[in-house]
A and B are shown apart, each in its own frame.
Chain A
Amino acid sequence: MLIDWFTVGAQVVNFLILVWLMKRFLYQPVLSAIAAREQNISDELADAARTKAQAHQQQDAFEKKNQAFDEQRAALLSKAIDEANAERSRLLVEARKNAAQASSDQAKALIDETQRLHDDLVRLTQEQVYDISRRVLADLASVSLEQRACEVFIQRLRSLDDRAREALSTALKVASPQAPALLRSAFELPVAQQNAIQTAIDECFGQTIALEFQILPELVSGVALSVNGLKVAWSIADYLEAISTTLQARLSKTEPV
């Protein structure tokens, strides 16, 4: 017979033992290892997902910070530009002001220089005229310029018109030894001429006039009587005034614009 029942029973027992042994030594360890590895992979994937999410969060935060930084930088830049523009405007105004001041100072200096030059020219001209006149008079008439100036003054005094004479007479009446009338000359008058002038004045106004003689170099060559705001004078300065006016007109024509 092909079936041996003892062998059948033994094989059933063998098979059941083999099932138990294979479960114990094969299926459970292998399935546990697979499960552990799957768990590891799952953990790694979860960790990677968590890390990715964290990275996204950090990226978002970084982008927000970047945006805020850009906005702040733009605001600061705009503010700096505004401040620079304001400073530029201020500096321009200041520079214009300084330029205007410098221009004004230059113009003033030019005017002062012109005036000084003019004064020098006038003084030089006076001196030259005075010197020339003195020489001419000495050569031609043997008369000193000072003497001739006194004579011309006396002559002018005597040829005053009535209204001027009246006004001057009224003014001379208040003159006293305490407040004498002033007779100014550019040079020291000799006593003879002082007397001649005193005499001429006394005769012209019919009274003795207290005079005080003073030297005033600005008159260059001339004699001036001044009392109480009124004045009678002759000097080369009158002629020089005409020359000065002519020169002034000529200079104003040649000044740069």
Chain B
Amino acid sequence: MRLTPDAWIFWEHGFFKLNATLVFTWALMAVMVLGAALITRRLVTGHQRSRWQNLLEMVVTTIVGQIKDVGLKEPRRYLGFLGTLFLFIGAATLATVIPGYEPPTASLSTTVALALCVLVAVPLFGISGQGLAGYLASYMRPTPIMLPFNLISEMSRTLALAVRLFGNMMSGAMIIAILLSITPLVFPIVMTALGLLTGMVQAYIFTILAAVYIAAATRNGEAAPGP
């Protein structure tokens, strides 16, 4: 039994290797991009539109609404990053219903990569939002003594993001694998359904937490009116 799809290696040459994480990631990317391209190729602006267009519009507007609810003033600016986070993690979870599929998010490498993206994106959005000085000053609020704690907080929350998602996804896949070996008929289906729910919740949590971090970085001055 593999603990992570990273261990499922198709090809390897020195540092480079082609493992199941990358392959399933590309497959997901292909399906998502091709599906979106196919649907958005025939978008209409009238009152009568296809159910697929309705679905995409519903998904996009819901994500925009969630980002706005978090407190980000210009949700469309963050839609590309946060929306893709949610859709990728959600799609990776939904695909677990396909036999033989292993979600890339069950790989700690993937979750670390996503957490690193968040780690980098937060200061970038923060700096573009309130300037370099303003963003750096936010680490010394309320007092400069808090600087190391803030830095530790950055690191620990990034690690928490990565491990939380990995743990949930990996455990779900592991439970299903174990149950398949014990009771191959009913329980795996129930646990797969539970895994779908858990995965969607994790996608939501990951995205919302990233949005909260970005919101905290972009409006740090506004959020700290004084002692």
Q: How many A residues touch the partner, as a band? A: 20 to 34
Contact B108 A2 (CB under 8 A): yes
Distance between Cα atoms of A5 and B4 in the complex (Å)? 14
- Would you list which residues of chain A between 9 and 55 have a CB under 8 Å from chain B? 9-12, 14-23, 25-27, 29-34, 36-37, 40
Say if the beta carbon of A178 comes within 8 Å of chain B: no
Cα A190 to Cα B19 with chains together (Å): 186
Cα of A173 to Cα of B218 in the assembled complex, Å: 164
Q: Give every chain B residue within 8 A of A19 (Cβ-Cβ).
A: 80-81, 84
B43 touches A30 (CB 8 A): yes
Are A11 and B33 in contact, with the CB atoms below 8 A?
Answer: no
Q: Which residues of chain A have C-beta atoms less than 8 A from B19's C-beta?
A: 4, 7
Closest B residue by C-beta to A29: B40
B32 touches A18 (CB 8 A): yes
**Is B177's CB within 8 Å of the partner chain A?**
no
Which 4 A-B pairs give the minimum distances between C-beta atoms? Answer: A11-B113, A7-B109, A29-B40, A26-B36
Residues on A close to B: CB < 8 A? 2-12, 14-23, 25-27, 29-34, 36-37, 40
In the complex, 19 of the A-B residue pairs with CB atoms within 8 angstroms, ordered by the A residue number, are: A2-B109, A5-B109, A7-B6, A8-B113, A11-B107, A12-B116, A14-B25, A19-B80, A22-B32, A25-B36, A25-B37, A25-B40, A27-B80, A30-B40, A30-B53, A30-B57, A33-B53, A37-B45, A40-B45
Interface, chain B (partner A; CB < 8 A): 3-4, 6, 15-17, 19, 21-22, 25-26, 29, 32-33, 36-37, 40, 43-47, 53, 56-57, 60-61, 76, 79-81, 83-84, 87-88, 104, 107-110, 112-114, 116-117, 166
